[in-house]
Amino acid sequence: MDVSTQATRAAAHPAVPEAAPSPPPVPSRDKAAAARTALLTGPVLPALVRLALPTMSVLVAQTAVNVAEAYYVGLLGTDALAGAALVFPIFMLMTMMSNGGIGSGVSSAVARAIGAGRHADADAVAFHAIVLAVIAGALFTLATALCGPALYHALGGRDGALEAALRYSNYLFAGAVPVWIVNLQAAALRGAGNVRVPALVTLIGAVMMIPASPVLIFGLGPLPGLGIAGAGIAFGLYYCGAMLVLVRYMASGRSSLHVRIAPLQIRLFADILKVGLPTALNAVLVNLTVILVTALAGRFGTSELAAYGIASRLDYIMIPLLFGLCTATLTMVGINVGAGQGARARRIAWISAATGAALVGGIGLIVALHPPLWLTLFSRDADVLREGTIYLRTVAPAYAALGFGFVLAFAGQGAGHVLWPFIGSILRILVAAGGGFVAIVMLGGGMASLAAMVALSLVVYALVCSLVLRFDRIWGATAR
């Protein structure tokens, strides 16, 4: 064969280059579609448990970190414990606004988009969530730096307790942006039905935090102890690491949601914020209730403030325990509402609320019968134990009402309606803080009176949230 013939054949049949290595496998939309079908047609309780358990187990681990940190801080003395009690409601405000507030808006928007088959919108919502996280986190860092001294003083912080609060707060809120990014990206994944990855990231971080926190607080070998500031630094390091892992995973294309830079769209921000803003305001009201009750407890003295801080921390811990159930409820309700299955969505809300009431109600009864199970983890001071026992024996039995109302609030968010939970939160603050003010300041009551108002506020909150279930328009025509 001559050279010209070879050239002609080469032109007609060009050489095929060697195949490039295949990229890592990407989860197909078929898998996501199968998961969607299971949530739309499968048995409710097994699906609820399957979605809730990973998040709940990890939140239990996260709760263990919070308990361990409070234990370590308690070893620094009553002033440090009281200082942490002043900061804790503000940190929980940020956590609830990002996880259960704007985070609920992100989860709801993602779930409804997937339920309606709008996968591109679901991906774009995840990127819009990062933008919101940076803005909100920066505002928290700035606000606590500028207003912290006046705020903690107004809540009853004095002398050593105030100094401890400021040191803890400054380091804790320096990492506010990573906290928001982690919580909103985890919310986006949960809205898509992916609970495994956020759970795994949180669990690994929690396991690392428990030994890291005492090293930073008390020191080890050549490493100096940083005191209460070390507790704040430990949280910041954890969230920075979790942020890098989550964002890299979601940008890699291995996730069911693919985060990448996309044009910002007002309609997607609106889709997040129409649920997220009222729910975030709910979180503000819930935490404002605790902040105002903390101020009332601070009127009694440092020991009483420390007692309330320990006891009310258990109130807060009920929320992360419920949160796994709540996010599963939101996802299931959102996908079913998006698919036009209102009757099934309402049934999911009923089953979820009853499960939440049973879960935290059982814990509340145990603690009410034997308060030292909780209180002696943090203090052996006789005055602290006495006041904390009074509070828990009154408030802990009302945890069932908290569980019922809190889960129903998330069910409403999944359906895109937040009015009744919002009204419930307003009444809760009026009863707890307003009633507490009357009982303490005007009538001269003690911790028992304050605790009675807090318990009553939880019952009122549950009753109002239950109205979500009554209105067909919330669940659509198929709810009838």
Task: Indicate whether 278 belongs to any domain.
Answer: yes
Is residue 468 a contact partner of residue 329, using CB atoms and an 8 Å limit? no
Q: Is residue 18 part of a domain?
A: no
pLDDT in tens, 117-143: 777 878 888 888 999 999 999 999 999
Considering only residues 54 and 269, tell me which one the structure prediction assigns the higher pLDDT.
Answer: 269
Is residue 220 a contact partner of residue 213, using CB atoms and an 8 Å limit?
no
Please indicate, yes or no, if residue 305 is contained in any of the structural domains: yes
In a domain, 80, yes or no: yes
Helix (H) / strand (E) element for 392: namely helix 382-395
Structure tokens at 478: 């198929």
Percent of the chain past pLDDT 90, that is, above it, reads 14
Asked if residue 446 is part of any domain, the answer here is yes
Contact, 278 vs 423, CB < 8 A?
no
Least confident of 54-68, 181-195, 301-315: 54-68
pTM of the model: 0.66
pLDDT at 28: 42
Least confident of 22-31, 201-210, 283-292: 22-31
Lowest-pLDDT choice from 259-263, 348-352, 369-373, 414-418? 414-418
CB 357 within 8 A of CB 401: yes
Q: Are 105 and 276 in contact (CB under 8 A)?
A: yes
Average pLDDT taken over every residue of the chain: 79
Phi, psi dihedrals of residue 223, rounded to the nearest 5°? -80, 125
As given in the structure block, the two tokens for residue 135 are 């803005």
* Residue 355 buriedness (CB in 10 A; 0-12 / 13-18 / 19+): buried
Q: Considering the domain boundaries, does residue 26 fall inside one?
A: no
* Residue 220, beta-bridge partner list: 223
- 220: helix, strand or coil: strand
In this prediction, residue 27 carries a pLDDT of 46
The SS3 assignment for 280 reads helix
Confidence class for position 1, pLDDT limits 50, 70, 90: very low
The C-alpha atoms of residue 148 and residue 140 are separated, in whole angstroms, by: 11
Chain segment 150-164, per-residue pLDDT in tens: 888 887 777 778 888
Counting every residue, how long is the chain? Answer: 480
At 62, the pLDDT band (50, 70, 90 cuts) reads low
Query: Which pLDDT score is estimated for 3?
Result: 41
Q: Is residue 21 part of a domain?
A: no
Q: Which residue range forms the structural domain that includes residue 272? A: 43-474
pLDDT tens digits, 218-258: 888 787 878 888 888 888 888 888 888 888 888 877 777 77
**Residues 274 and 415: beta-carbon distance below 8 Å:** no
Query: What Å distances lie between residue 140 and 2, 177, 459, 465, CA to CA?
Result: 78, 8, 31, 29
d(CA 135, CA 51): 30
Position 182 pLDDT exceeds 60:
yes
The answer to whether the CB of 431 falls within 8 A of the CB of 453 is: yes
Task: Map 97-160 to HEC letters.
Answer: HHHHHHHHHHHHHHHHHHHCCCHHHHHHHHHHHHHHHHHHHHHHHHHHHHHHHHHHHHCCCCHH
pLDDT in tens, 35-50: 666 666 667 778 787 8
Question: Tokens 């809540």 map to which residue?
Answer: 155
Is residue 31 domain-resident?
Answer: no
pLDDT at 4 over 70: no
Range with lowest mean pLDDT among 33-47, 127-141, 339-353, 405-419: 33-47
Q: How many domains does the chain have?
A: 1
> pLDDT tier at 394 (50, 70, 90 boundaries)?
very high
14 pLDDT tier (thresholds 50, 70, 90)? very low
Residue 202 structure tokens: 């949180």
pLDDT of residue 152: 85
Do 165 and 5 touch, CB atoms closer than 8 A? no
Quick one: which of 320, 317, 328 has its CA closest to 352? 328
